[in-house]
Amino acid sequence: MVTTAWLFPGQGSQYVGMGAAWYARYDGAKALFEEASDLAGYDMKSLCFEGSAARLSRTSFTQPALLTVSVLASRVYLHEIGIEPRYSAGHSLGEYSALVSSGVLTFAEALGLVIQRGKFMEAAEAGLGSMIAVRTSDQPMLEELCRRHYSDGQPAAIAGYNSGSQLVVSGHRSAVASVAEELERLGIEVTRLAVSGPFHSVLMQPAAESLEEALNKVTFKEGRWAVISNATALPYPDAAAIRRGLVDQMTKPVKWLQTVRFLAEEGVELAVELGPRTVLKNLTRDSSEQIRPYAYDREADAGSLADLFPVRQFIEEGFSAAVSAPNANWNEEEYAQGVLEPVRRVREMLSSYTETNGSVRDAYGLRQDVQECVRQVLRTKKVSEKEQDETIRRLFTGSFTKNL
């Protein structure tokens, strides 16, 4: 299969109207937003689609809203494209979306945690902190500047390794302002981030301690695929590590550059940002020449992904693989049930797809049905397990490589 990663954005990617296009074209969106509204105690659809921008930018509202829209994006992607990833990763808050996508947490569990997380962080902020993005690859220089302006009660430190050319500083607003001024005197580009607190700094320690209590009440399940930790830039090995990682990321830097490098080393070819805007697409493009990043929030990217993974071609190639496989089973009853019947089902799927002009009720379900039919035919024809696996692999990679 094509080695794919799903990427989920964090705070700062929100905007009024986010998710509205996905909501309009996915039948399951209404139930998702109703569930979010019931748990949050306010109208999530109104918050995300209608504003106000000021309310949406408050941490206690931003985080539940972003989680809801990112989970919606992942469900729409599966519905329309139907290809699961090998890894998922999220930037800060986005890690909760990644855990939901993999099945480690239910949406309700994650939303409950994120609602508390946002409130804990908002309480810890108290107007004391700020964050800046710095256009530089000189990590030692930036670390030295932070040390120079660090004082008791007024910390400044690197809070994010976003890409090979962008680092983030967080801390007390006075210390961060001093770092920013010195950087600008050196001619280095500085962007003051539109966030309401000193995230991923020691000033978030009270929030981290409160969150740890909430996390201890949640059961983390085994995921369908690996989720990468912000704190280590490696896959979580078990539930205890997830719980520890979600606490650690409150006060430690986000290792996004290291995460992208790990994905590249693991052979990831394609990354899809599932959520609002294109922040992670851009950071991934800056950090790896190997990985092709797309943002599903951009219509052109969504169209490109549909072209790369065409559903009709998948059905056609599944039909061809089933029909052309050599047969070594001469039992007529087994052949009728295990070959003729699944081949008929795949032919019907292709006819239905053609008759509806490519309208897909559920691309993921359809791909699974085709795969199941092909596997049944190969087993019945007594094709070896190794060749069965290779045929399925070609089925999932063939259309992608042909359409590159």
What value, to the nearest 5°, has the Cα angle with vertex 179 and ends 148 and 229? 95
Task: Please tell me the CATH code under which domain 4-124+202-307 is placed.
Answer: 3.40.366.10
Torsions phi, psi for 156 (to 5 deg): -145, 135
| pLDDT score of 1 more than 80 | no
Q: What is the mean pLDDT of residues 177-182?
A: 97
pLDDT of residue 149: 96
Task: Please compute Rg for the chain using Cα positions.
Answer: 24
Report pLDDT digits (tens) over 85-125. 999 999 999 999 999 999 999 999 999 999 999 999 998 87
Superfamily the domain 129-192 falls into: Malonyl-CoA ACP transacylase, ACP-binding (3.30.70.250)
| 88 belongs to the catalytic site | no
Report pLDDT digits (tens) over 122-179. 988 767 899 999 999 999 999 999 999 998 889 999 999 999 999 999 999 999 999 9
The CA distance from 83 to 78, in Å, is 6
| pLDDT score of 402 more than 80 | no
Q: What is the mean pLDDT of residues 254-263?
A: 98
Q: What is the mean pLDDT of residues 36-49?
A: 98
Share of the chain above pLDDT 90, in %: 91
| pLDDT score of 399 more than 90 | no
Share of the chain above pLDDT 70, in %: 98
pLDDT of residue 205: 96
Q: In the 8-state DSSP scheme, what is residue 293?
A: E
Average pLDDT, the chain: 95
The CA distance from 277 to 279, in Å, is 6
Q: Which residue in the list 13, 102, 200, 399 is annotated as catalytic?
A: 200
Tokens in use for 59? 């941490």
Q: Which residue matches tokens 């599903």? A: 296
Q: Which residue in the list 92, 102, 130, 210 is annotated as catalytic?
A: 92
pLDDT of residue 218: 97
Q: What is the mean pLDDT of residues 360-365?
A: 86
pLDDT of residue 403: 64
Give residue 360's pLDDT band: very low, low, confident or very high (50, 70, 90): low
pLDDT of residue 401: 58
| Cα 294 to the center of its chain, rounded Å | 12
Say what angle helices 139-149 and 173-185 make with each other, to 10 degrees.
130
| 200 belongs to the catalytic site | yes
Report pLDDT digits (tens) over 366-380. 999 999 999 999 999
262 within 8 A of 233, measured Cβ to Cβ: yes
The CA distance from 129 to 46, in Å, is 29
